[in-house]
Amino acid sequence: MTTEKREDGAANSRQVDRRTFIKTTGVAVGAAAGIEGILAARRAPAFAQGTKLHIVRWNDFIPEADAWLKKEGMPEASKALGAEVTLETIGYNDLQPRITAAVQSGAGADIFMLYYNWAHLYANSLVDVSDVANAVAKDQGGFYDVFNAAANVKGKWLGMPHSIVGNAIAYRKSWFKEIGFNEFPKTWDELRKATAELKKKGKPYGQTLGHTFGDAPTWAYPLLWSFGGAETDKTGKKVAINSKGALDSVKYMTALWKEGCDEGGLAWDDSNNNRAFHANEICATLNGASIYIVAKRQQDKLKDEKGEPLWRDIDHALFPLKGAVGQYPLYFSNAHGIMKYSKNPKLAKDLLRWMHKKENYEKWFQICEGYSVAATKEWEKNPMWGKIDKPLQMFRTAARDTRIFGYAGPASANSTEAYSKYIIVDMYAKAVQGMKAEDAVKWAEGELKKIYEG
């Protein structure tokens, strides 16, 4: 999903096991307190309360966005609210273990960034922010539909929708032109043909199937959906993964991997593909706009094989591709959640209101240059979209049509647990490593049943 590899953000994959989920979220009856091991090791620090507020977000793939928040945004918010607001940014794969530890200990940051539909998973620990969310939605054109599934739980906004990162395929225009493609392949079959030719030239396609929050699931889930597969039926209670659509998608992935992909991608996190692209090692990769943005902002450093600025040879193509049963993307929606243990829930809500005031949000929004799209529709009209480069303009409407985990059923804590355990990603990873496609699908079916039907 993203961009220039910030080493401090390239955290290792850290799954949260089922026992932890059950204890933390109350998914199953009998949830109990206490957790050792990983949680004890990752216990969140307790901050003094009173007029202080502590918010934790990821290390943004647009470093300038974090720099603005820390140097200008939060200091301005502190002054406006009469409080001391502390922004802490951590590795993107570290957020979920950090929240889990905070919930278990009942101490930690007042506000956490929430990925995808984590609001369902941590519902018992989050403050109802409907008053803030409804006011922002009314003022700014309403939220995109995906947030109703992602952050609204049983009629209550438990996450304040913040933004969406739209993924697309960043690719080298000249390399594809060399093999007869004047534009990026439109279909799955064309992608397989083109990448096979480029891999023979030492320019493979770069795709992670590792345990990392963004690029792996935003590839794997749309691949499954676009071939007609689904985790569950419409009730969300019966696993439906063992289907012709899922099997076809696994067989396609296996062929694409062998013929056209950099097979080192099994071990990649969300930053490896950025580095490989900027090093002229891969012809294309699924990512946010950050590869392009960073290449342009660091054009004196990032060159193509001819010594020319790399960004001039980069364009974006829509993902998923045509040629199966449909095109159904998954983009990275995110929100902010206020923890129930916070001693300052009113102050925390005031901070969210401040962050979403148009004049404040716009400063951050414009720095992102389309990498992060707003959660409300009015921002599609922002003048920024007319000023940024053409390859970035396609992200303006990215938030309009994205699915969320759990399809064809509703978003739920179960679907987030399945995502957090990388079951769909691992289905493909096992197949490309040699497991028969039929067996990989059956494995996924068994794992999903433990969650949805167990």
DSSP state string for 369-428: TTSEEESBGGGGG-GGGGTS-HHHHGGGGGGGS---TTTTS---HHHHHHHHTTHHHHHH
Task: Give residue 28's pLDDT.
Answer: 39
Distance CA 351, CA 114 (A): 16
Task: Give residue 454's pLDDT.
Answer: 83
DSSP of 21-61, one letter per residue?
HHHHH--STT--S---THHHHTPPPP---SSEEEEEEE--S
Task: Give residue 23's pLDDT.
Answer: 52
Q: Which residues pair with 172 in a beta bridge?
A: 314
Tens digit of pLDDT at every position of the chain (454 positions): 443 333 333 333 344 444 454 455 544 333 333 333 334 444 444 444 458 999 999 999 999 999 999 999 999 999 999 999 999 999 999 999 999 999 999 999 999 999 999 999 999 999 999 999 999 999 999 999 999 999 999 999 999 999 999 999 999 999 999 999 999 999 999 999 999 999 999 999 999 999 999 999 999 999 999 999 999 999 999 999 999 999 999 999 999 999 999 999 998 999 999 999 999 999 999 999 999 999 999 999 999 999 999 999 999 999 999 999 999 999 999 999 999 999 999 999 999 999 999 999 999 999 999 999 999 999 999 999 999 999 999 999 988 989 999 899 998 999 999 999 999 999 999 999 999 999 999 999 999 999 999 8
Q: Please report, in angstroms and rounded to a whole number, the separation of the first and last CA atoms in the chain.
A: 32
Place of tokens 């091991």: 37
Task: Give residue 363's pLDDT.
Answer: 97
Angle subtended at Cα 20 by Cα 15 and Cα 23, rounded to the nearest 5 degrees = 155
How many CA atoms, within 13 angstroms, populate the side-chain half-sphere of residue 236?
13
Task: Give residue 36's pLDDT.
Answer: 39
The token pair at 402 is 């994205």
Q: What are phi and psi of 218, to 5 degrees?
A: -75, -10
Distance CA 448, CA 419 (A): 10
Place of tokens 């399809």: 407
